[in-house]
Every structure is written in structure tokens, then in C-alpha cells.
């Protein structure tokens, strides 16, 4: 499970990470007290997608070091795993939640959750894989749905 960048400019910026917390490559990140860490399913302001994996054996695991993060724009599309429910063509255009978070394991999306509306499905690949855009980019988001 991970968010894989498939199209768009993929602007990458460095953000300081939370110390002593595992982060999976391809995981959605949110902010906590000024540092990035894996987003919870209730996180609606996504900082971006982690480019780097951080584990307890990483040299900078216990530090607030800077890690590279893809900051999603309205043009960036990501492939995402569906971790709860089954996607269909009817899922396209609908806003969904992130799946549950386990630090160190990248999240997917849940097509049975529409409380937080973190992503919008923009393409259907299969019942378990879709293309999404992140609604945290205010130019793209339409929270009225």
C-alpha cells in the first residue's frame, strides 16, 4: 500500500519529520506540531507524500531531520490502493477518506468512508486500485460534496 505518483509536476520540498516515528515511503503525511508524520485517517490537511522510508534502524530515526516530500498540486495524480471496500467506475468523482494509519506502513484509501474527504477518485483501475488527487490542495478541493 502506498501512494505512487503517476502524473503531474511532482514538486518536492523538504520538511522536518517527527523524531522516533517510522514513516513508509509513499505514505501520506500530515503536520503535527510543525513536523511531518504519517497522516491519520482524520487528517484533512495533507503535507504531501513521503519519498523516503524511515525505520527504527535509520541513522536519523531519533532526529527531527528533513525528509523529501512530494507536495501535491491540482495537477498531481497518484495511484492508491483501496484498503476498505471495493472501487467501481462509479467511484470516479467521489471524495473518500484515508485508510487507517500504522506508522511505518503506507496508507491506502477507504471507499466506504466519506467523513473527511481527503482524496477524490479521478480514475478507476480495479476494485483494489484507483487514481486519486489530494483535496488538501485548496485549488482542487470541493468540500461541498
Mean pLDDT of 109-126: 95
Parallel, antiparallel, or unpaired for β 109-110 and 77-84?
parallel
pLDDT in tens, 14-65: 999 999 999 999 999 999 999 999 999 888 889 999 999 999 999 999 999 9
Indicate if the pLDDT at residue 140 is higher than 50: no
Higher pLDDT, 106 or 90: 90
The answer to whether 6 and 25 are in contact (CB under 8 A) is no
Note the pLDDT tens digit of each residue in 79-88: 999 999 999 9
For 128-142, what is the mean pLDDT? 76
Contact at 8 Å (CB) between 43 and 20?
A: no
Angle formed at CA 55 by CA 107 and CA 47, multiple of 5 degrees? 45
User: Checking DSSP bridges between strand 95-98 and strand 77-84, what pairing results, if any?
Assistant: unpaired
Which residues sit opposite 36 in a β-bridge? 17, 31
Domain boundaries, position 47: 4-70
- Is 144 within a domain? no
Do residues 97 and 118 both lie within one domain?
yes
Same domain, 54 and 110: no
Amino acid at each position: 500500500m502506498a501512494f505512487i505518483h503517476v502524473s503531474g509536476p511532482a514538486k518536492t520540498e523538504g520538511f522536518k519529520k517527527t523524531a522516533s516515528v517510522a514513516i513508509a515511503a509513499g505514505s501520506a503525511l500530515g503536520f503535527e506540531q510543525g513536523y511531518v508524520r504519517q497522516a491519520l485517517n482524520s487528517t484533512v490537511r495533507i503535507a504531501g507524500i513521503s519519498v523516503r522510508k524511515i525505520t527504527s534502524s535509520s541513522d536519523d530515526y531519533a532526529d527531527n531531520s528533513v525528509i523529501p516530500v512530494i507536495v501535491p498540486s491540482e495537477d498531481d495524480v497518484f495511484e492508491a490502493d483501496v484498503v476498505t471496500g471495493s472501487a467501481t467506475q462509479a467511484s470516479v468523482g467521489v471524495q473518500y477518506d484515508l485508510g487507517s494509519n500504522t506508522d511505518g506502513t503506507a496508507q491506502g484509501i477507504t471507499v466506504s468512508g466519506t467523513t473527511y474527504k481527503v482524496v477524490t477518485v479521478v480514475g478507476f483501475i480495479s476494485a483494489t486500485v484507483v487514481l486519486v488527487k489530494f483535496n488538501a490542495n485548496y485549488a482542487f478541493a470541493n468540500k461541498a460534496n
